[in-house]
A and B are shown apart, each in its own frame.
Chain A
């Protein structure tokens, strides 16, 4: 059947299993929007307040569901507004397809109105991108984009479609949704070498990042942990990969990781690292990172092996399939001494725990935990509140922690939480800060009009707390441009102005009441939750520092 390019775009999205797209119209995508109108019964379009919100929503949708998220924007400013969202997805390996319109091919290259070289702009932040110069390749390009986005190490792919290509007519035949390319386990010889290394270990430590979740390898990980009697830790991207309360799980490692976890990793003699990339927030001073450990690094992206730390064994392969082959080669062992050491670390961690009463970050997240069910996706923004969420949230199921790890994008949360809610059909939670929320709070409008069940827990400390913490610790308390409390924003009124419900919580009792209301609300509900401006995220490994420099308590 002959269809217009814009019809082909929408039909191909539907064919590829897309059920919702996030976007914003404009001159160079008006034809696509006409096709969306035509096919609205089959494909839901969510109009966001800003293209950045659309990109984060597609991202949150993808992280929560594992499916490819899709966003659409017009040329020029529409396209550039997607950039932060695409970069966020790229560094966290999230499968995304972004479709942009552009000026007609006859005008391309002449600096036409709202013409931007978006394939050039996004070159270093996409897995790949396409400029579709002729209609005959349109459908296949979209299919190829989906295949690339979800194959191997996932990532964002952008497709730029000039307006005349959207108008042109071409033959379209629906096809089946493309599958991800088949992935393979690492080479047998490498798996055997790794097994020997692990079998010789006295203090093994299992460590994972977001790649474990992508590869769906939780069961295999836990089987190995039981077999070799090893503790488990993760990077921030790994959170929700293993149930928080799993006995062997020590939580998050790294700059603000759990004390026992970071300490155990530091003392291990063998680190089995799965689907992770050892960035500077994990290693600190690389020269002093895990010096006593042999690292077995398994990742589907060969370029990650040896990129920052040198593994004793680098295994390129799908984590799940590699672990399946590794498991039978591992000896069933017990490491009582190592477990004793771990218990001691856990005790030390307990002693360092913040046991104050009142509206402390720990108590606030603790209260939130009581309202979550096992499927509630929790998104965050970026800052102290994000780290508190990472440290204290109690999560059961995988893909339920949605946070910008690699890029640390303030303003990620609103879009991402909406995308997660719409993708999972679950009420979602956003833990945000007053600074981050300010960046994309316009998406409240989107949440209201779409009746997105969304609990927005705004940890309002009146400051850019994370930056302030650094200023306190490393810049003689020069609080340069990090105080927000002299702004006059009333977040409750603001939410109400958008048509959302909201309340303020100054005490834990008020917070409990607010949470109860919020979790019963049909649409978005904002809780303006007061937090002291001088709360710290602890422990902290100073940037570029090592475990010797760990700050456990302020004033020590």
Chain B
């Protein structure tokens, strides 16, 4: 199914994330990635959601979002005009036989070893979701101990901001 990403500027208030995700659940919108963070202003938090479905579904989602009083602005983010990144931390078994292969793969993907012990090491990597997916796929040939990734954070290219959408 086609994936799409929207950024949602919400009032920085207690329980807001719950209101937003509750709507997703109730209306059967799937969430494939979700990040929440503070913004340049104390008033607002920013939620970035990746969901899946066609144009109609996307429009429905945006309309439903705007019905929540705490939602201030919604921006649709397409692949071309936005920069999207995820952070990956992946913990690998430090197997002497695999060590070098893993490290050269990590180097090729511009990953960085941020923890190293006799039994394990952690690689940190930043990139778009596809790059992260690909790297994890590569690592499946070895023993993965743990994975944690942030989900997508995105900004529109150029001077456009989400606050411009509704003149906040």
* Residue positions of A touching B, CB distance < 8 A: 119-120, 123-124, 127-128, 131, 148, 301-303, 305-307, 310
Contact = CB atoms under 8 A, between A and B. Distances in A.
Contact of B22 (A124, A131, A303): A124
Q: Determine chain B's interface SS by DSSP, over half rule.
A: helix
Contact of B60 (A119, A123, A307): A307
A124 B60 contact: no
A303 B15 CA distance: 23
B82 interface: no
Contact of B15 (A119, A302, A306): A119
Interface string B117-159: 0000000000000000000000000000000000000000000
Interface of B: 14-15, 18-19, 22-23, 26, 56, 59-60, 63-64, 66-70
Contacts of A124: 22-23, 26
Contacts of A303: 60, 63-64, 66-67
Q: Which of A127, A303, A307, A310 has the most CB of B within 10 A?
A: A303
8 contacts: A124-B23, A131-B14, A301-B63, A302-B63, A302-B66, A303-B64, A303-B67, A306-B60
A457 B18 CA distance: 44
A127 B22 contact: no
B67 A306 contact: no
A302 B64 CA distance: 8
A513 to B, nearest CB: 51
Contacts of B23: 124
Nearest to A316: B63
B60 A128 contact: no
Contact of A301 (B14, B22, B67): B67
Contacts of A128: 68-70
A124 B19 CA distance: 8
Contacts of B15: 119, 131
Given A124-B22, A127-B69, A303-B63, 12 more contacts: A120-B18, A123-B18, A123-B22, A127-B67, A128-B68, A128-B69, A148-B69, A301-B63, A302-B63, A303-B66, A305-B63, A310-B56
B61 to A, nearest CB: 9
A96 to B, nearest CB: 16
Contacts of A310: 56
Contacts of A307: 60
Contacts of A305: 63
Nearest to A147: B69
A127 B71 CA distance: 13
A128 to B, nearest CB: 5
A121 to B, nearest CB: 11
Nearest to B59: A306
Nearest to B18: A123
B13 to A, nearest CB: 10
A123 B63 contact: no
A97 to B, nearest CB: 14
A124 B18 CA distance: 11
A91 to B, nearest CB: 12
Contacts of A123: 18-19, 22
A-B complex: 3 closest residue pairs judged by Cβ atoms: A303-B63, A302-B63, A128-B69
Contacts of B59: 306
A303 B26 CA distance: 14
A492 to B, nearest CB: 44
B124 to A, nearest CB: 36
Nearest to B64: A303
A306 B67 CA distance: 16
A151 to B, nearest CB: 10
Contacts of B69: 127-128, 148
B141 to A, nearest CB: 45
Q: Which of B26, B68, B69 has the most CB of A within 10 A?
A: B69
A200 B8 CA distance: 41
Contacts of B63: 301-303, 305
Contacts of B22: 123-124
A306 B70 CA distance: 24
Nearest to A124: B26
Contacts of A306: 56, 59-60
Contacts of B18: 120, 123
A527 B30 CA distance: 52
A131 B18 CA distance: 14
A12 B166 CA distance: 31
Contacts of B60: 303, 306-307
A148 B23 CA distance: 18
Contacts of A148: 69
Contacts of B70: 128
